Amino acid sequence: MNQQDLTQEILNRLDALAAKLGTTAEYLWPALVREQYALGWAKVVVSATIVLCAGALWVWVLRMRDVPFFSPQDETRPTRKLGACIAAVVLSAVSFPVATINIPLGVVGIVAPEAAALRAILP
């Protein structure tokens, strides 16, 4: 597919989408670009927050390593320690793969929202 065919395909998809929404392509394109910019910031902020929460949870779990497992003053410590370890593993298993995908896509949405909007239109 050459550049001219790709441009025509983008314009056709944009016109079809605008017709479905009851607006024009001249209005729709800037709205798509603004949406990609906002979505880029949301992806970066949410992903970074989840990674920071996972890191903070790991710091807390590692600090609990020095606390005795059974303590006469606190009978719930083994359950709390096990729950924190499970939460840290699950949150890390989810957050790091999601962040490695969403943070770069979010940066592209912030730096080049037009490219992100094109990627949203094209399959």
Is residue 121 over pLDDT 60? Answer: yes
Buried b / exposed e over 75-112, threshold 16 CB at 10 Å, is: eeeeeeeeeeeeebeebbeebeeebeebbebbebbbeb
Is residue 119 over pLDDT 60? Answer: yes
Residue 92 CA to its chain's centroid (Å): 14
What single DSSP character describes residue 72?
A: S
pLDDT value of residue 23: 82
The ranges assigned to domains in the chain are: 3-121
**HSE (CB half, 13 Å, CA atoms) of 101?**
4
For 60-80, the pLDDT digits (tens) are 877 776 666 555 665 556 667
**Banded pLDDT at 81 (limits 50, 70, 90):** confident
**pTM of the predicted structure, to 2 decimals:** 0.72
pLDDT value of residue 45: 95
For 5-48, the pLDDT digits (tens) are 777 788 888 888 888 888 887 888 888 889 999 999 999 999 99
Whose CA is closest to 104, among 56, 47, 35, 30? 47
Is residue 4 over pLDDT 80? Answer: no
